[in-house]
Amino acid sequence: MEYRRLGRTGLKVSKVSLGTMAFGRWIDENASAQILDKSIDLGINLLDTADIYGKGMDNGNFDQLGESETVLGNTLKQKRRDVLISTKLNNRMGPLANDQGQSRYHILRALEASLQRLQTDYIDILHVHRFDPNSRFEESLRALDDLITQGKVRYIACSNFAAWQIAKAHGISMLHHFARYESIQTEYSLISRKIEEEIIPFAKSEEVGILAYSPLGRGILTGKYSAGSPPPLDSRLASGEEKLKELIDQKNIFEYVDTLDEIAKHKGWNLPQLAFNWVANHPSVTSAIFGASKVMHLEDTLKHVDDQLSAEELVQIDKAYQDIKL
């Protein structure tokens, strides 16, 4: 496994991260433990979770949020020192007015709750999950900086921010001598390439790490969906995921997927292997997050992760993307 420096920091993270949104939500603790063990065996050292991940995301039950963190806490035990934990806060975690956002009040409460669920004394990378227009940058960054000073957080990062939002946060951090957002977690795949417009150039310029989520296009690049056919009953599309529906509804999406599949087959790979390899080996990506729900999927998709796509194959992929105009 290759390890890369996170932004301008000295922290080394594996080029593949384990996404744990399925833990406690779609798979039980035993299945989660098997995936975790296999990931560590493969050299993955960065585990990504969030305080909101759990069955409560689907049924609205606040008591069933945070199950991913709980499962990780129960399964890591003595392995904690061997891995890096990334978690996120901001989302609504209860019915009260201050049970969400990036106020100092919520940041401190959310962090303590995550530490309890994860059964750890510190978080390696703490992300704010998305931009909060109701909290001033100064308040949020001061609270996050205090957590670093207290030793409860090692690094801070953001998720789903626009380039201008990170730039503004960086300016405030510099002005007040606060810790700055050292990386951004953002969606990136052969289906979703919008970050190439501003996020990637900004990250390159300012030495900001990129942790790419949904490298398989929220499942479209697994090959499980096809035009005119109903989705598998156990799939994310069948469960009604809105963002996935939006991607599926794009014109000519399956024509593009078929082209990518042909490129993969010509190389002797399958479609998920091609899609994941493209993201994980992109020169601007620090780590690609693989959200596993089965050990076999983890092993198969990562089979060629250390191999390289040829210059000709990269050109073919770019041409197919430009032709389809997603």
CA-based nearest residue to 126, from 174, 181, 53: 181
For the chain, state the CA radius of gyration. 19
- Which is catalytic among the residues 53, 155, 188, 256? 53
Q: What DSSP element (H or E) covers 74?
A: helix 67-76
Task: Report yes or no: 204 and 176 within 8 Å, Cβ to Cβ.
Answer: no
Does 53 participate in catalysis according to the annotation?
yes
CA atoms within 13 A on the CB side of 61: 8
CA-to-CA distance for 228 and 36, rounded, in angstroms? Answer: 36
Which residue(s) pair with 127 in the sheet? 88, 157
Long-range contacts from 308-312, C-beta under 8 angstroms, 24+ separation: 308/281, 309/267, 309/274, 309/277, 309/278, 309/281
The DSSP line for 171-202 is HHHHHHT---EEEEEEE-SSS--GGGTTHHHH
Which residues participate in catalysis according to the annotation? 53
